[in-house]
Chains A and B, each alone.
Chain A
C-alpha cells in the first residue's frame, strides 16, 4: 500500500467508525444504568431526518445537530415512559421504538427526499483541513472531535465521579440503590435521554456528514452494529473506542482490498463480522470464571419499587 493511499483510507475509517462510536457510547451509559434500549436504529433515524430537515431549512448544521439531539431524546423519553414508568418489557419496547423510528422518519422526511445540504465539514482553515498530510488530523467534521471528547468525558464520568458511581450502582443493584435513597427511575430516565441524544448525533453524522441527504433507512442497520459494539467492548468506554475503529477499519480495508483487486474474505462474511465478533467476545467472557460480570447485573430488568 502506497503512502498516498494511507491518508484517504485512514480518513474513511474515521468516517465509518464515528457514528457507530457515538451511538454505542450513548447505549453504553443506558445499559450501565440497567436499561436495555434496542431502539438505537430508530432513534438514529429520527435524529438523521430531524438534523437534515432543520439544516435544510435554517442552513445551520449545528442547529440541525441540536434539534436532532432533542428529537431523538424525546423518542427515548417515550421509551423511558413505557419501560420505566409503566414497566413494559424493555426488549419488546426497544424493538417497537426501532420500527416506530423507521416509519416516523420516513413520514417526516417525505418532503426532503432529493434535497441536499452542504457537508458539515471541517471548521479548520483550508491550509490545515485540506493539507495533503495534516488533513488526517484536521480534515474532519466537528462531530468527530466531539465523539472523541465524549469518550473521555463518559469514561471519566463513569469511573471518577460520584454521579457515575450512583449510575453504576443503579445498574448493578437497583434495590440496594433504592434502599439507600437514590431514585432508580430518575437516574435511568437521565441515562435513557442521554442515550437518545447520542443516537441523534450519530444519525446526523449520516445525513449531514457522510452522505448529506435524506432517504428512508439512511442508516441501513448501523444502530444494530452499535448495540453489538457495546457488548463487544465489555461496557468499557476505551474498549468501545478501539472496537468502533476496529469495526470501521475492517469495513473500509475490505473495500480497499477488493478495489485493489484481491479479496480477503467473502463480502457476506464481512457484513456479518461485527455480529460474529460480538458472539465470540460473549462466548469468551462467559467462559471465564468471573462469568458475565462485565454486564450490569440489572440489565433489562424492570424496576418496581415496593414502596
Chain B
C-alpha cells in the first residue's frame, strides 16, 4: 500500500492553496474543474484517505483534462454549505461531497447553482443536478464472513459496531450469513460502542469480546485498535476501509478497500462526453469500487479459494449474500427464497440467525 509521506501532504496542500486565485473564465479548451469536499484529513488512512486515492486515480487517468481542488477537514453542517457554495462560485463544474452530513447543504447549494453538477456520497436526497453514490460494503463483509467461518476455532466472532443504522446492520448480517454457510453453528456477538472512532473503547470492546469466547474480530468502527489487541493476544481480525496490516501483521486477515476512483472516473468521463445525468449509484465488487486487500499468508490456500469463490459468486450474481431462506435471530422466517432487494436492505433493522446483539 502506498504510504502517505509528509511531502505529498505538503504538495497537495500547496496545490489547494494556489487554486482559488486561478481565474474562472471557462473556454472550451479549459480543463474540467472538479472539487472534492472531505470530512477528515487525507492522512486519516480511512474514509477520507480512500476518497483521496480516488482523486489520484482521476488525475492519473485524465491528466490535464481535469483540474481538481480539495478541501479537507470540513465539518458537517453550516460550515460545509459555505465551502460547497464557494467551490461552486469559483467555477467548479462537478463537486463531490463525500460524507453523509453534507446532504442538506449540498442540496441547498445545488438548488442555487443549476449549472453545477453535484455528487453526494451515502445520502438519499437527489435533484436534477445532484446525484448520490455509495458502495455495497456488505459484499466485502460476506467475504470476511466466509474467511471467519473457516478460520474460527471457537465458532464465535466478535463484531464491534458503531450505530444500529441499516448500513451497519446489513454488514453484520452479511458477515454472519456467510460464516454460517461454512459453519452452521457460527455465532456473531455484536458490541455497540456508540462511536465511529474511539480507539481506547474499541480496544476494550475487543478485549471484552475475546474474553467472551470470540477468536476473530470484525469491526464497523474506524481505528486499528482492535487489530492491535488481537495481534497482542495472537488472534485474528479484519481491517476496516483500508489495508491495516502494518498495525497487526499476523492478526490482519484482510480488509475491505474502497476504490472510489472507479466511480469518479466514470462520472467524469460522462461530464467530458456531455451525457452526465443525475441518479443513484450503488456499486460493489463487480464495478470495482470494492476490493479485498491481499489475504494474509496465515489463511490456508483452500480458505483463500473459498473467499475468492464468495467474491466471484457476488460478481456473477450466483452468490448474492442475502439469498433465502433467511431466518432472523428470533427464529422468524424473513425470506423463504430468492434474494432481498435493495429496498429491503436500505431499511434493514433485524438480525439474522446467529447474531447476538
- On A, residues with C-beta under 8 Å from B are 5, 8-9, 12, 15-16, 19, 106, 110-111, 113-116, 119, 206, 210-213, 215-222, 251-252, 255-256, 258-261, 267-268, 270-271
Contact = CB atoms under 8 A, between A and B. Distances in A.
B199 A210 contact: yes
Interface residues of B, number: 40
B199 A206 contact: yes
A216 B197 CA distance: 10
Interface of B: 3-6, 9, 40-41, 43-45, 158, 189, 191-195, 197-205, 207-209, 211-212, 214, 223-225, 228, 232, 246-247, 356
A210 B200 CA distance: 6
Interface centre among B40, B41, B195, B204 (most CB of A within 10 A): B204
B223 A211 contact: yes
The prevalent SS among residues of A at the interface is: helix
B182 to A, nearest CB: 23
Given A106-B41, A114-B45, A213-B224, A255 B203 contact: no
A255 B204 contact: yes
What are the 3 tightest A-B residue pairs by CB atom distance, in nearest-first order? A255-B208, A220-B198, A211-B199
B156 to A, nearest CB: 10
Contact of A220 (B43, B195, B228, B246): B195
B191 A116 contact: no
A12 B208 contact: yes
Given A111-B6, A259-B189, A267-B192, A206 B232 contact: no
Given A211-B228, A267-B193, A256 B44 contact: no
A105 to B, nearest CB: 12
23 contacts: A12-B208, A16-B204, A19-B200, A110-B41, A113-B44, A113-B45, A114-B45, A210-B199, A210-B203, A210-B225, A211-B228, A213-B228, A216-B41, A219-B200, A220-B197, A221-B198, A255-B193, A255-B201, A259-B191, A259-B208, A259-B214, A260-B212, A271-B195
Nearest to A212: B228
Nearest to B158: A259
**In the complex, which of the residues A113, A221, A268, A271 has the most CB atoms of chain B within 10 Å of its own CB atom?**
A113
Contacts of B202: 211
Nearest to A258: B191
B200 A259 contact: no
Given A12-B204, A255-B201, 10 more contacts: A111-B6, A210-B225, A216-B41, A216-B44, A217-B197, A220-B201, A255-B191, A258-B208, A270-B194, A271-B194
B212 A256 contact: yes
A111 B45 CA distance: 12
Contacts of B6: 110-111
